[in-house]
Amino acid sequence: MVNIHRQHDASFKDKVALEALKGEKTVVQISSELKVHPKQIRQWRNHLLETLPDVFSTRRKTQEKEQEELEGELYRQIGQLKVGVEWLKKNRSRSCRDEAVRD
């Protein structure tokens, strides 16, 4: 028996979570209409309720900006390290040739 998991995009999850949040239909009714397990719908609804307060807050924007700055700094450091490694590789082979000539 093959166990296939369906992948749902974010917009579908949003619509389902909002529908469950409205309360016009029960989770079981939504589940039977959309062929999604009720537990999954509850998880999406709970996730929406947890993240909803941050939607309009400036704290979230500040955190995202800090995250982007950190990533930029890390990418810059990675670039410097790559250049350093290439330089070392190049000079190592040159110094090995120089030693061979001396011997």
Angle, vertex CA 18, rays to CA 15 and CA 22, nearest 5: 140
CB 21 within 8 A of CB 49: yes
Nearest to 37 by CA among 13, 1, 55: 13
Kindly report, residue by residue over 66-76, the tens digit of the pLDDT: 999 999 999 99
Kindly report, residue by residue over 34-54, the tens digit of the pLDDT: 999 999 999 999 999 998 887
Terminal CA-CA length for the chain = 69
* 56 pLDDT tier (thresholds 50, 70, 90): confident
Mean pLDDT of the chain: 88
